Chains A and B, each alone.
Chain A
Amino acid sequence: MLIATLFEPPMWLTLRLAATTTLVLLLIGTPIAWWLSRTSAWFKAPIEALVALPLVLPPTVLGFYLLVALGSRGPIGAALRALGQEPLAFSFSGLVIGSVIYSLPFVVQPLQSAFESVGRRPLEVAATLGASPLDRFFTVAVPLARRAFLAAATLGFAHTMGEFGVVLMIGGNIPGKTQVLSIAIYDHVEMMQYAQAHTLAAGLLVFSFIVLLLVYGFNRRLQALHP
């Protein structure tokens, strides 16, 4: 039964969304975190505040503005339509954009503090040994912050899995297209279909537990290998 839930459209969609979102988050969150950890520019604080906003805003506020911006009458939506593109609202891409913004602080903050605790010295040492800036980032900063990468990816993934308000606002609730697991469960409960709600809810519960178990187990091994 639990295996079967994995192949239900909402579960599959949710996993796909969480995986894509996590990937995008790592790709854009890493440079942001790196920049924040190094810079002393005056606009560091405003950027930090902006990145942290999703922590305090109700997801519906975020979702609402994204809907306004991405919808066919919004600035981004209109621009896309002028280019002959589909509007992003009520699409998988729209969901990814919403989820990325919503989970950004969960990825940026652990990475930023890890980069800060790496400090300048190891990178200076690498520079004196002939490593270019990009080289020392990948061979020194990233390996020294590897546990933060694991934490950031886990948090980003988990946070996206459980997301509700943002995806409801900008994705709508289109089965097979934008209906993610949390919304599907909500729908089932609304329609008094407790058995179906159980199947999905228990599936999510067990799946999440297994993922976290693997992550923490891996984390312990990393720690044991290189204290």
Chain B
Amino acid sequence: MSTIRGWFKLNLGDFHLDAEFEAPGRGVTSLFGPSGSGKTTLLRCIAGLERASNSYLEVNGELWQDDLRSLFLPTHLRPIGYVFQEPGLFPHLTVRENLEYGFKRTPIDRRRIMPEQTIDWLGLASLLHRHPPSLSGGERQRVAIGRALLTSPRLLLMDEPLAALDAASKMEIFPYLEKLHVEMPMPVLYVTHSMDEVARLADHMLAIEGGRIVAAGPLSETLTRLDWPLARGDEAGTVVDAVVAGHDNQYHLTYLDFSGGRLAVPQRVTSTGATVRVRLLAREVILSIEPPLEAGIPNIFITNVVEILDISPAMTIVRLDAGGAPLLARVLRKTVAELGLQRGMWVSAQIKSVELMS
């Protein structure tokens, strides 16, 4: 039963949380929504920091909360790691003491993640004797991540860990977050309102709005379901995990292959065979009913129209199937009429620019 399942009902003045969800018990699930949608509140409920009544939570087969049975595990007994938006380091303790605060309180037989390995992994060795007020924002957040990991959590909760950082510090933290779900065994619930972070980090997504879960599922599916709100926004698009196929040194390009075909992006120092994540924005896709001049041209794909939905009097979103990979195109409603687009038609889709995420 590798799953995180629960429901929470909570009234906070004008705001009502009424969220029922299920997420896989591994990998990174992003809890995505606009400010005030209740994503932080939901995360706090999962941590037991907010006492929701009539609620239920089960993490990989362990029951943490079931109000029907009057079961409520208080926060300090839940095997979680929690990274807050602001690092929240204890100013009276050194970096090492901060890191070991949770580790010391973790039962010995449950310790899987060790201090030296974590210090090494996050590059904290030179900071150990310093006090938090003397650290930079990025350093503090690295310590906070290490401190949370050192409780060997069975569920890692991250509440917008990058939101309070400047651009440079964000770039400092990103590589660690990207490595996190590859190298760490526990599931991660990652709260964010940034589609960019979702696209880079998440495998799975729970979208929340007005205290309710409005979309849930594997990332590419959630992003492209037209009956869910994400496909209708300005940032609509898909995420594709592609394999580096080779480099073109003359034009400084890197070729990436995925099930729909071949992508070309500005050259990156990446070894052939590596998997990288790219984001294909719906507004960057141009549709045409003319077949491409020749097969195999990068960034042009033969696709099948799956679904067409008008999202405004002027704009239409089209869901395409590119060799099994879903693709979204946002075009003028007029274009749809002129091309006579219909479900089941074959069209060629050209992607103007591809965003390489990792």
**Measuring CB to CB, which residues of chain A are less than 8 angstroms from any residue of chain B?**
121-122, 124-133, 135-136, 139-140, 143-144, 146, 226-227
Q: Which residues of A contact B92 (CB under 8 A)?
A: 143-144, 146, 226
| Subset of 8 A-B contacts with CB under 8 Å | A122-B88, A124-B88, A128-B49, A129-B101, A130-B76, A133-B76, A135-B76, A140-B90
Q: Which residues of A contact B88 (CB under 8 A)?
A: 121-122, 124-125
Q: Which residues of B contact A139 (CB under 8 A)?
A: 101
Mark the stretch among B78-86, B181-189, B242-250, B277-285 that contacts chain A. Answer: B78-86
Q: CA–CA, A128 to B78, complex, Å?
A: 8
**CB-CB under 8 A for A128 and B90, given A121-B84, A226-B131, A227-B133:** no
Q: Which residues of A contact B151 (CB under 8 A)?
A: 128-130
Which B residue's beta carbon lies closest to that of A140?
B90
Does B169 touch A at the CB level, under 8 Å?
no
Does B342 touch A at the CB level, under 8 Å?
no
**Measuring CB to CB, which residues of chain B are less than 8 angstroms from any residue of chain A?**
47, 49, 74-77, 80-82, 84, 86, 88, 90-92, 101-102, 105-106, 131, 133, 147-148, 151, 157
Q: CA–CA, A227 to B147, complex, Å?
A: 22
A128 in contact with B101 (CB, 8 Å): no
Q: CA–CA, A146 to B93, complex, Å?
A: 13
Q: CA–CA, A143 to B90, complex, Å?
A: 10
Q: Which residues of B contact A129 (CB under 8 A)?
A: 76, 101-102, 105, 147-148, 151
A124 in contact with B90 (CB, 8 Å): no
Q: CA–CA, A133 to B74, complex, Å?
A: 10
Q: Which residues of A contact B106 (CB under 8 A)?
A: 130
B91 in contact with A144 (CB, 8 Å): yes
Least Cβ distance of B95 to chain A in Å? 13
A122 in contact with B75 (CB, 8 Å): no
Which A residue's beta carbon lies closest to that of B48?
A127
Least Cβ distance of A133 to chain B in Å? 8
Least Cβ distance of B72 to chain A in Å? 14
Q: Which residues of B contact A122 (CB under 8 A)?
A: 88, 90
B105 in contact with A128 (CB, 8 Å): no
Q: Which residues of A contact B77 (CB under 8 A)?
A: 130
Q: CA–CA, A64 to B80, complex, Å?
A: 56
Top 10 closest A-B pairs, CB basis?
A129-B102, A130-B105, A128-B82, A127-B75, A125-B88, A143-B92, A127-B76, A130-B76, A129-B101, A132-B76
Least Cβ distance of A51 to chain B in Å? 27
Q: CA–CA, A143 to B106, complex, Å?
A: 22
Q: CA–CA, A227 to B84, complex, Å?
A: 23
Q: Which residues of A contact B91 (CB under 8 A)?
A: 144, 226
B133 in contact with A124 (CB, 8 Å): no
Of the residues A128, A131, A144, contact of B47 by C-beta under 8 Å: A128
Q: Which residues of B contact A131 (CB under 8 A)?
A: 76, 101, 105
Q: A126-B101, A140-B90 are in contact. List 20 more A-B contacts (CB 8 A).
A: A121-B84, A122-B88, A122-B90, A124-B75, A126-B76, A127-B49, A127-B75, A127-B76, A128-B47, A128-B49, A128-B75, A128-B102, A129-B147, A130-B105, A131-B101, A133-B76, A135-B105, A144-B90, A144-B91, A146-B92
Which A residue's beta carbon lies closest to that of B101?
A129
A124 in contact with B49 (CB, 8 Å): yes
Which A residue's beta carbon lies closest to that of B91?
A226
Least Cβ distance of A134 to chain B in Å? 11
Q: CA–CA, A20 to B102, complex, Å?
A: 37
Q: Which residues of B contact A226 (CB under 8 A)?
A: 91-92, 131
Q: CA–CA, A127 to B157, complex, Å?
A: 14
Which A residue's beta carbon lies closest to that of B94?
A226
Q: CA–CA, A136 to B77, complex, Å?
A: 13
Least Cβ distance of B47 to chain A in Å? 6
Q: Which residues of A contact B147 (CB under 8 A)?
A: 129
Which A residue's beta carbon lies closest to that of B75?
A127
Of the residues A121, A128, A132, contact of B148 by C-beta under 8 Å: A128
Of the residues A121, A128, A133, A140, contact of B80 by C-beta under 8 Å: A128
Which A residue's beta carbon lies closest to that of B78?
A128
Q: CA–CA, A124 to B44, complex, Å?
A: 10
Least Cβ distance of A70 to chain B in Å? 42
Q: Which residues of B contact A130 (CB under 8 A)?
A: 76-77, 102, 105-106, 151
Q: Which residues of B contact A136 (CB under 8 A)?
A: 76
Q: CA–CA, A127 to B137, complex, Å?
A: 23
Least Cβ distance of B256 to chain A in Å? 39
Q: CA–CA, A132 to B289, complex, Å?
A: 66
Q: CA–CA, A136 to B74, complex, Å?
A: 14
A125 in contact with B49 (CB, 8 Å): no
Q: CA–CA, A192 to B90, complex, Å?
A: 59
Q: CA–CA, A14 to B92, complex, Å?
A: 35
Least Cβ distance of A140 to chain B in Å? 6
Least Cβ distance of B101 to chain A in Å? 5
Least Cβ distance of A119 to chain B in Å? 10
Least Cβ distance of A223 to chain B in Å? 12
Which A residue's beta carbon lies closest to that of B131?
A226
Least Cβ distance of B84 to chain A in Å? 7
Q: CA–CA, A122 to B148, complex, Å?
A: 14
Least Cβ distance of B58 to chain A in Å? 19
Q: Which residues of B contact A135 (CB under 8 A)?
A: 76, 105
Q: CA–CA, A125 to B101, complex, Å?
A: 10
Q: CA–CA, A131 to B84, complex, Å?
A: 17
Q: CA–CA, A128 to B92, complex, Å?
A: 18
Which B residue's beta carbon lies closest to that of A120?
B49
